[in-house]
Amino acid sequence: MWPRHFVFPKRMMRPNRSFRLPRLLLPILAVAVAAPVMLAAPPARAQNFFERLFGIKPDRPPVPPRGVPEAPLSPAPAGPGEPGQPGQPAAPEGPRPAPQPARPVVLKTPSEDGVLGQDLQLNGLSGSLKLERSGTAVTARIKLPGTKISQPAESCTVPLGGGNPVALSTEGKPEGVPRFEAAGAECPLRFDVTEGGVLVSTLGSGPVCTFSAADCATTPAGLWGPAAATLIPRAGEFDTARGVADKAVRDNYKLMTQRARREDVRPIVSEQAAFSADREQLCRTYAREGTHGFCHLRVTENRALSLATRLGANTAVPTASAAPRRPRPKPAAVEGLNPDAGGGADAVPE
């Protein structure tokens, strides 16, 4: 036991106070703690650490790591008098090609060989028309359907030329398609060939031909073509071709208005509007026209060829095809893939 009069020093009365290190030992202790980390780091990083720690300036700049893009080199200045130098004119560009003028759309021209020997009917319903070749000439056997003059409710049929072949004169292709005429017959007629049919119009003063001896009045104008039963299976083909023919008519009509003078534009617009109305009136009587669309297609194709001919195009060389495109073959099934799943890695877009 210590005597009562003994007094402990103040430093010994604080036994729990933390031990303080001198400030001079702190840098050495920091280096010792960071030594394991520097040993695991790459040599370049350790060297940079010591250089920053002790203020040592490196002899040469460090090599940049890979993958870092270097600054692009500045282009060499242009020599005196060269294009691109300030104060010098730019290099002249070469002459640009002149824009190609719009050309009319030409569809495939029908041939009379496609209708020779075919039995055609007015609107696919009544009468009969057969074009035949006799040597170098073309003849027609035609029976005109009509109604009796004395009893309009009853139908009648009149064979043109007494049932004998009627000689036709060849008129060339004034509107892009083969044309024949029977100007000397009892009922003067004009025949414009279409694909699989014939557009017939009268050459007289009116659309009606009257045969008093046969007590029959006939209206032969219209499209003479196959019966509806043979056209319905081809409805999809006609629908595809109709889109091509309609576009050809629009393009040729637009080109015609662009080329025409200002005072001639209005008659062209009126003519196009009249064509749409006349086509509707002509084709509404064709048998089952709403199902197959054969009449609308053939009339539209002939209209497109007529406009192309008036625009000066060579109708012997078609520039557009109305044939339907063939479907693409489906890719073969690959083992391990679901053939019914769409959008796979090997799927082929339609």
Helix (H) or strand (E) holding 122, with range, is strand 120-122
Higher pLDDT, 288 or 33: 288
What is the pLDDT averaged over residues 22-28?
59
pTM above 0.85, yes or no: no
φ, ψ at 86 (rounded to 5°): -55, 135
Backbone angles phi, psi at 117, to 5 degrees: 80, 0
pLDDT of residue 91: 59
Q: What is the pLDDT of residue 204?
A: 80
- More confident call, 162 vs 52: 162
The answer, yes or no, to whether residue 114 has pLDDT greater than 80, is yes
Query: Is a pLDDT exceeding 70 seen at residue 81?
Result: no
DSSP string, 21-79: PPGGGHHHHHHHHHHHHHHHS-HHHHHHHHHHHHTPPPSSPPPPPTTPPPPPPPPPPPP
> Phi first, then psi: what are they for 200, rounded to 5°?
-110, 135
Q: Which sequence spans correspond to the domains of the chain?
A: 112-228, 230-310
Closest CA to 303 of 285, 279, 283, 320: 279
pLDDT above 70 coverage of the chain, percent = 63
pLDDT tens-place string over residues 147-202 = 999 999 999 999 999 999 999 999 999 999 999 999 999 999 999 999 999 999 99
Asked if residue 246 has pLDDT above 90, the reply is yes
Q: At what angle do helices 235-259 and 262-283 cross, to 10 degrees?
A: 160
pLDDT of 345 over the 50 cut: no
Q: Which amino acid is at 225?
A: G
pLDDT value for 347: 44
Whole-number pLDDT of residue 306: 97
Specify which residues 128 forms β-bridges with.
143
**pLDDT value at 68 more than 50:** yes
CA torsion, ordered 265, 268, 273, 279, to nearest 10 deg: -170
| DSSP 8-state code for residue 109 | P
Across residues 232-245, what is the average pLDDT?
96
